Amino acid sequence: MSAPARILITGAAGCVGQYTAEHLYRHSNAELLLLLRDPAKLRAVPRHDPRITLLVGDLRDLEPHAAAIASATRVIHTATAWGDPERAQQVNVVAVKRLLALLDPQRLEQVIYFSTASILDRQLRLLPEAMAFGTEYIQTKAQCLQELEVHPLAERIVAVFPTLVFGGRVVAGDPHPTSYLTSGVKEAIPWLPLAKWLRADASFHFIHAADIATVCAHLATTAHQPNPEPGQGAVRRLVLGQAPITVNQAVATLVRWRRGWVPPLGLELTGWLIEGLIKLLRIEVNAWDRFSIRQRHFVHEPVSPPERFGLTSYAPTLASALETAGVPHRGRLPG
């Protein structure tokens, strides 16, 4: 009988990190090495369980955990940084290379590297605009992907590109951290009476963090194969998302969820009208914001929900995502 896998998860206290650690803890016999900065935030798994080893520290200083990292047979790298250009470069590019250098190629079977679907076009190719106009987060993710494609371990890397991520709940009591999207839904509710009168030609994918965990756990506990995806390089690219949904469909779903009425007609948010509102309201937009306004349709083919691997989604529709997030059907949202 073979020894259990030793799976290193970086960013283990984050939203996706905790869902993934919990799924592997409950549905596998893997030994989990959880790299995180604040153990107090880890609530989805029992931190003192003998199958779990906490590696407390910053991704930019991996040396204290070099031996543990070298013992890993699989890696799920979710940790990331944004907001500060220098920190983003150090975490999203430099630390990734250092992490790969500390792994033992004789033991390592696979690395699941987390990026973002925002840097890819419809055919999963790197967007030139990601480097030209992207924020520090977008640019560093694009740079890292380019470097991974030519890395000696490239054939053992699966790059996953989550779309918009639901996770946690809008009310207290869930052990998982609340994702930015789920928090944003709560903040958007008061604007629905206005938003339902507007129309926009735009579309996107979403996915629940539990479904990301399902896919990643499947990849991390099955035999790794060289990239079978057609038209890709050495690094396999998987965009994690459900079927695309339009902005108009999303708004209508939210309005109906709140027991509201959806008007049959509305004001179309054309490019010139959006530009006018930006000037009128003095909204600050950067180059990437402007590109996104022009792009409008952030959709990809193929996308990889759990069903692509013979698994079942936890939240396959927007309505089910709202249900799992605890968004009330009517009345006031809890403070």
CATH number, residue 115:
3.40.50.720
> pLDDT band for position 21 (50/70/90)?
very high
Q: Which of 278, 300, 273, 276 is nearest to 289 (CA)?
A: 278
User: What tokens appear for 319 in the block?
Assistant: 């309505």
The pLDDT value recorded for residue 221 is 96
3-class state of residue 201 by DSSP: coil
| Same domain, yes or no: 180 and 281 | yes
Rounded to whole angstroms, the Cα distance separating 23 from 2 reads 21
| Cβ–Cβ < 8 Å for 158, 113 | yes
> What is the total count of domains within the chain?
2
Q: Are 38 and 12 in contact (CB under 8 A)?
A: no
**Least confident residue range of 66-70, 78-82, 271-275:** 271-275
Task: Find the mean pLDDT for residues 265-278.
Answer: 84
Strand partners, 267: 198
Residues 127 and 261 in one domain: no
Task: Indicate whether 287 and 317 sit together in one domain.
Answer: yes
Question: Are 231 and 253 found together in one domain?
Answer: no
Average of pLDDT values for 104-121?
97
Q: Does residue 146 form part of some domain?
A: yes
Mark whether 248 and 262 lie in a shared domain: yes
User: Checking DSSP bridges between strand 74-77 and strand 245-246, what pairing results, if any?
Assistant: unpaired
The arithmetic mean of pLDDT across residues 71-94, rounded, is: 96
* Same domain flag for 286 and 173: yes
Question: Is residue 307 situated within a structural domain?
Answer: no
- Is residue 201 within 8 Å of 296, Cβ to Cβ? yes
Domain for residue 77, yes or no? yes
Indicate the pLDDT class of residue 182, thresholds 50, 70 and 90: very high
pLDDT band with cut points at 50, 70 and 90 for residue 333: low
Note whether residue 76 is domain-resident.
yes
Query: How does the average pLDDT of the chain come out, rounded?
Result: 93
Domain containing 317: what range? 169-204+243-297+313-324
Give the rounded percent of residues in the chain with a pLDDT score beyond 70.
98
Using CA atoms, how far apart are residues 248 and 262, in angstroms rounded to an integer?
10
Same domain, 195 and 293: yes
> What are the CA-CA distances from residue 221 to residues 5, 28, 112, 207 (Å)?
8, 8, 12, 21
Same-domain pairing of 57 and 132: yes
| Cβ neighbours, 10 Å, residue 203 | 16
Q: Are residues 36 and 105 in the same domain?
A: yes
The residue among 165, 180, 323 whose CA lies nearest residue 254 is 323
Alpha helices in the chain (DSSP H): 15-27, 66-70, 85-89, 95-102, 128-133, 136-149, 180-188, 192-195, 209-220, 247-257, 271-280, 287-295, 318-324
| 117 and 178 belong to one structural domain | no
Identify whether 42 is part of a domain.
Answer: yes
Question: What is the Cα–Cα distance from 332 to 51, expressed in whole angstroms?
Answer: 42
Distinct helix (H) and strand (E) counts, the chain = 13, 14
pLDDT digits (tens, 9 = 90+) for 281-318: 788 888 988 888 888 999 999 999 999 999 999 999 99
Tokens 């500390």 correspond to what residue? 102
Q: Is residue 331 part of a domain?
A: no
In a domain, 43, yes or no: yes
pTM, to two decimals: 0.95
Do 23 and 134 lie in one domain? The reply is yes
- Residue 333 within any structural domain of the chain: no
Same domain, 224 and 200: no
Say what the pLDDT of residue 3 is. Answer: 80
Cα 67 from Cα 63, distance rounded (Å) = 8
Question: Contact 168/15 with Cβ under 8 angstroms?
Answer: yes
Note the pLDDT of residue 335: 47
